Amino acid sequence: MFGALIISIVEPGAFKNIGNSLWWAIVTMTTVGYGDMVPVTLPGRLLAILIMLTGIILVALITGTISSIFTTKRIMEGKGLEKISKENHIIICGWNPNILGLIHGLLDSSNNIDIVLINDEPQDKIDSIMSGISKNNIQFVRGDYSIDSILNKADTTKAKYVLILNDSSNNQDEKVILTTLTIKKLSPGIRVVAQINDKNKIPFLRRANVDAVLSSDDYNLYMSLSHILDPGSAQAISSLMSEHSNNSLKSREIPEQFVGKTFSELHKYYFDEYGMICLGLYNHEEKMGISDLLSSNSDTIDEFIERKLKQAGHSLEEKNKVNVNLNPDKNEVILKGQGALILK
């Protein structure tokens, strides 16, 4: 504006009004230089040079400042120091060896899942995860996840699920319980799944209104995914695994008289005689590897049944493979040597 006033005084013939002077000053300062109006006197040209240099410096400063803001923001986000703005996202607090499989399992289930990690692991661990995953689906917050301010950085109040992992370190169970209490205070409606090492501390988690508990000897990866993606089935399996549950999964030898009969007849027999539900069949095969166990797509129920068979004394080593067939066709014929999986 000052340059426009000066040029109108120095060059009254070329710049007849303040509007023309202002137009020329802006065009000159931005180094566009249309050439529709030019100073012809020496003072006018010296003023033009001064305006040009000032314009170059200002444009450089503005461009550098804007670039610096975006670069700093990106660096801060990469280091987990920036506040996250998300809705209906999944927050994973802590770190354990299963975290990468857990993340891939969640992302494979849907393209619309957003994940926010909260931990204070070394930057190289975080970078190794981020490098193989779309940055649009996963973000990171650095810090102690039991602290309110760190949880707020992850936009916890707008999250859909929070999974708290336990890394088996000292006093980690207490930290998990504290974090559960903090999250439930910040957002009572959020679903919290917490992993704990000492089963004696599960009642404390229950008092903290945790929605689901994973103990250290559960099939943590599969159960973690199930508690988030399919809470109903996960809760059912957790109930079956509980020592205090009225229901349990048992393996039974099939009575000789049912060999050659159908699964439908066997199912009716167990229900009518014992009030039990026959869920499927299993059989042993010699000299088979453990990699061939159960279904080709290992899911939570397969993992759970495999464990129960081990507890029942059925070896799953290379010399003795157990094949499980859940919910077979009602007309499937019972073979000699097969056993039944019973829900008691």
Q: Which CATH architecture fits 2-78?
A: Orthogonal Bundle (1.10)
**Please, which pLDDT band fits residue 91 given cuts at 50, 70 and 90?**
very high
Domain residue limits, the chain: 2-78, 90-241, 249-343
Question: In the predicted model, what is the mean pLDDT of residues 166-181?
Answer: 82
**What confidence score (pLDDT) does residue 319 get?**
45
Residue 285 belongs to what H/E stretch?
strand 277-286
pLDDT in tens, 250-270: 888 899 999 999 999 999 999
294 pLDDT band, cuts 50/70/90, is very low
Q: For residue 277, with 0-12 CB atoms within 10 Å meaning exposed, 13-18 middle and 19 or more buried, which class applies?
A: middle
pLDDT value at position 332? 92
Q: Measured between alpha carbons, how far is 300 from 237 in angstroms, rounded to an integer?
A: 8
Residue 304's pLDDT band (boundaries 50, 70, 90)? low
Q: What is the reported pLDDT for 318?
A: 45
DSSP alpha helix (H) spans, the chain: 2-10, 18-29, 42-78, 99-109, 123-130, 148-153, 172-186, 202-207, 220-229, 231-241, 263-274, 300-311
* Mean pLDDT computed over 12-29: 70
Higher pLDDT, 298 or 166: 166
Q: What is the pLDDT of residue 10?
A: 64
Give the closest residue to 266 by CA, choosing from 309, 344, 330, 312: 330
Architecture of the domain spanning 249-343: 2-Layer Sandwich (3.30)
Going 74 to 78 to 83 to 84, the CA torsion angle's sign is: positive
- CATH number, domain 90-241: 3.40.50.720
Please give the average per-residue pLDDT across 52-67, as a whole number.
81
What pLDDT score was predicted for residue 258? 92
Percent of the chain beyond pLDDT 70?
66
